A and B are shown apart, each in its own frame.
Chain A
């Protein structure tokens, strides 16, 4: 039993007993938010961390799935149909996003995803007959999978935790699979991967699809949690927030996005009680992290621990590096 297994077991036990040791519904709700935002960050990390493809349009995909589910609920479909619809639209639009954005890599990928994400925002904001514009769509009630009600804060937390654990295991399996290894290869040495006979484009495309699936799941959880969706959830700030989770925690690490999600959600809900200027703080954190801690919290803390431990490992976490111009 190595230290990682112990850490995961302790974390799991702590998460499962969380409603018993935190005080009150408010904190259980914060924990639920952290979990579904962590799924979102895990999804972005698949391409941003392991694939070197940084997307600034992921909130658009998140929103598309959430809007689809809410709209279908609103016009009278059942929960299962709406959830399947949301997942389907999320995945389909990820495929379109990827086909366009993968025409470029590096900085071009960022700019194209940003433009695409903003177009989705424009759609959410302006296509009033579907999205109700700035007022957003409210939904009522949560589904009851297998007859279990998840209306209360605790039961919703456990449902989210279950989905989170499944998503985390899926990412773990993906990262250690041949496809995950190939994706990391296309990040570090795209030309060598091509020479070795890998289809670089298809590897990246499949990585994007997996990322899109996690993003859509998280979007649907979001709308069931909030019971509401508006263009604010889709805008550039939202895309930047989730990217901040990934980068602050440590891109290309397994736990980084989770730590980042916890950090951002906690700071946001604590700070918003005291000051209005969340965006200014978000911007300042961004600038600080990029200048002073470019490889994120988890690798940074890991480095400190490794200094004190006797065993030296060779698998240094990769810092997030995007090449400017790839020939």
Chain B
């Protein structure tokens, strides 16, 4: 039990962050001129010129990798400060289309980015990483899950992401590829809340990203999904049209695509684009 407690606390905190951020975003909607003029000096996007606050809306599965990326970015640009809003890409998409004050959007799939672009909120998206799916089970795998076939077992407690969010869409695709009709006990609103329930042993198995299994450390074990059934998630990133701080937004996107950024992302289990 002791080994489980630490990650649990972390994830509860994360859960709180995910839930409370939309409220903060709403609260911040009114004060656009808060940091106006702090960086728009007209200079070309030289690294030294980057400063001010940027807000990055990023898929929940990027939580750990982007947090480290943000810290590195801030240390390279001491005048800049990066804030994150992590959540389901589909929820972030809706917030952006509703006018939430974001500078960068990083989506866990292509369709949410496409909808943001169709809505005129972004242009010129770039693929920056790919991710694969993996079955996550609590440490010890008491239920003895060996593959996607076990998801049809009504005696097991099975969780998926909701069909409305990318990991739910991909997970269902993988199950369909394997010809399995799952016996689902819960459709979680995003991948981190699914992972939290698996870590705590409240679920026997769920389909998450490879990177989530890695991030969870000792609290969960991964069971591989064969390449024939697996689904490649392509992540896309773009600076937003209405970014309050476009220079810093572009610089952050460039940093994500740079060798240094890619190295950090790969250390969390992501593959190159």
Partners in one complex: no
Chain A residues within CB distance 8 Å of chain B: none
Chain B residues within CB distance 8 Å of chain A: none
